[in-house]
Structure formats: structure tokens, C-alpha cells
Amino acid sequence: MRNVNEDTITKIALAYHAHAEDPRFKQIMTGAIQHLHAFARDVALTEDELYQGIQFLTDVGHITDEKRQEFVLLSDALGLSMLVTALNNRKPAGCTESTVFGPFFVSNAPRYENGGDVANGAKGEPCFVSGRVMGLAGEPVPNAHIEVWQADSEGFYDIQHDGAESKARGSLRSLKDGSFHFRSITAESYPIPYDGPVGRMLKALGRHPWRPAHLHFMIEAPGYERLITHVFREGDRYLDSDAVFGVRSSLIADWKHHERGTAPDGTRVDTPFSTLDFNFVLNRAAAAVPHRSNAA
């Protein structure tokens, strides 16, 4: 196509992929091109600014490796991750809300029995976590696969440290009554990695990089939708300014403080510790919802 100009280029670019085989991919790319072109027109984007943006994305790619996912961090910091999470996880009232996955999940985490010490030497005040996994009708969900992970008291996840040992990370199964319990560390607020391009972007925007204290959960059980969520610590100063927009009021809970003494599992703890009790309500998977006929 010759003599393309600013008035015709969007229409022409869309026509170029008119015969795309995958209709969903065509739909996504059509929307992306339309919005990108509209953005460039709206802000009167200069050539220098375009190439600065390309360099920024190049830098994001260069710093990304098996331990650091800067693209996920960028998506989180722009609110895109939470928007997509919200769009894809609408649930009935009463179900536990979903929130962002984050860049620090690791598959094949160590398996623990209930009561195990998931902290595994991670730095932080001891914390004893308990709760139940239930369905919306209050039914217990036994043998649910529960993944937990969190940062240590210095604000780092295990994969950010040198060494391959898993700490403050693990998996366990709910018991017959849907209950679970394990030992970990008290959640503390921490900054997302800000020594790279995403950090430079936040600084240029006058934004801080902090996340409120939280504990990650991913829960899966047959017949129910997978739940990816956090539990946030009541009273944290960053609850209303989470750098990745993940806070939901229903996910805020009280970490109760205790002086040294006997822990919930009967062991003696010689330092102050905390306890957290939080129940999770799963939404039934669509295929698992009983069919009701019009005559019912």
C-alpha cells in the first residue's frame, strides 16, 4: 500500500491481517493496534519518545531471567494484572476474592504435612496460620491443594536470595473437615524490586514501590474454581496505596500478637509470635454446578 498517512494508516494496518486464521488472535491484535494508534495520536507521541519507550521495554527484557520477571512486575505496577484478574474472576457474593499472582510463585514447592514449619529458617517473627477451605454452601473441602509463599522480614522471597533452598514457601492439603494449619513467619510490608526499569518508571511518576504485608495462597480442589489470592495484614500503612493495586477489604485480616509462651500447636515459643486464622470460600466450577430444569 502506497501513500499511507496519519489518517489512513490504522485502517490499512487492520486490513493487513484480515485473513488471520485465529479469530481470537485477530480480535486481540485489532484492539491492540486501534488503541496503540489512538494513544499515539492522543498524546502526540514524538519519535524520540517512541524510541525511549522501545528502549524501556528492551531494558525490561534484559533484566528478566529465571529469578526475576520484570514484565510481570511491569504489568502489576501498571494495574494491568489486577484488571485482568478482576475481569476473569467474577464470583458470587460470599466467595473469597482473587488478587494478583505476582512474579514470585515457584512450582513444585516442598510438601508439608499440617502443622509443618513452612518458614524453614526464613527470617521473621514466628506465625501460626490456620483456617478452613469451604464451598459457598459452607461444605468443607477436604484434600484441597494449598500453595503458600511469602517474603521474609527483610522483604525478599527465597528465590531472590542466593541458594536453592525453599523458605517461607510450601504446599499442603486440607484435612477432612477442610481445615489446615502450618507455621510460617509474620508478614511484613516490602518494596517490589525497584533497581530496574520498573523502579525508574515508578520514581519518574512520583510513586512508591511498597506492598502491604501479605501472605500468598493458591488453592485448588476438584469441582471448584482455582483461587489465587493474598491475605493482607490489618493496620499496614500501605493498604491504601499498594504498588500493584491488589488489596481487597475482604482479604484484610488481623495477625494477632502474642508474647512468648505456648503456641497453638502446643510447642513453646521463646520469642513473641503471631497467629492468623482465615477461611477461604471457593466457587463451584461451572461443570460442577447441578443443572436445574425449568420445571424445578
pLDDT digits (tens, 9 = 90+) for 211-244: 999 999 999 999 999 999 999 999 999 999 999 9
In the chain, the amino acid numbered 161 is H
| Cα–Cα distance, 106 to 122 (Å, whole number) | 16
Q: What is the mean pLDDT of the chain?
A: 93
- pLDDT higher than threshold 80 for residue 138: yes
Per-residue pLDDT at 288 = 54
pLDDT band at 287 (very low <50, low <70, confident <90, very high): low
- Of 17, 48, 19, 50, residue with least CA distance to 31: 17
Cross-strand bridge partners of residue 185: 126
CA 98 to chain CA mean position, Å: 8
pLDDT band at 293 (very low <50, low <70, confident <90, very high): very low
Segment 175-194 mean pLDDT: 96
Instruction: Provide the whole-model pTM.
Output: 0.90
In the chain, the amino acid numbered 194 is Y
| Cα–Cα distance, 152 to 120 (Å, whole number) | 11
Segment 165-190 mean pLDDT: 96
Per-residue pLDDT at 74 = 97
In the chain, the amino acid numbered 277 is D
Q: Where are the beta strands (DSSP E) in 109-144?
A: 126-135
Number of helices followed by number of strands (H, E) in the chain: 6, 14
pLDDT band at 163 (very low <50, low <70, confident <90, very high): confident
Per-residue pLDDT at 291 = 42
Segment 83-107 mean pLDDT: 94
| Cα–Cα distance, 211 to 206 (Å, whole number) | 16
DSSP H stretches of helix in the chain: 9-16, 23-43, 47-63, 70-77, 80-88, 197-204
pLDDT band at 61 (very low <50, low <70, confident <90, very high): very high
pLDDT band at 295 (very low <50, low <70, confident <90, very high): very low
Given the C-alpha cell 542466593, which residue does it identify? 162
- Which residues lie below 8 Å from residue 191, measured CB to CB, with a gap of 6+? 155, 208, 209, 210, 211, 243
Q: Which residue has the higher pLDDT, 288 or 233?
A: 233
| Cα–Cα distance, 103 to 126 (Å, whole number) | 24
- pLDDT higher than threshold 80 for residue 1: no
pLDDT band at 4 (very low <50, low <70, confident <90, very high): very high
Which secondary-structure segment (H or E) carries 172? strand 169-173
Distances (CA, A) of 119 to 151, 201, 225: 10, 33, 27
Segment 206-215 mean pLDDT: 97
User: Strands 210-211 and 261-262, how do they pair?
Assistant: unpaired
Give start-end residues of each CATH 2.60.130.10 domain in the chain: 76-286
Cβ(246)–Cβ(82) below 8 Å:
yes
Per-residue pLDDT at 250 = 97
CA 139 to chain CA mean position, Å: 26
Class of domain 76-286: mainly beta
| Cα–Cα distance, 113 to 168 (Å, whole number) | 15
| Cα–Cα distance, 148 to 167 (Å, whole number) | 11
Cβ density class 122-159: b for 16+ within 10 Å, e for less: bebbbbbbbbbbbbbeeeebeebbbbbbbbbeebbbbb
Cβ(119)–Cβ(167) below 8 Å:
yes
Segment 107-134 mean pLDDT: 96
Per-residue pLDDT at 114 = 97
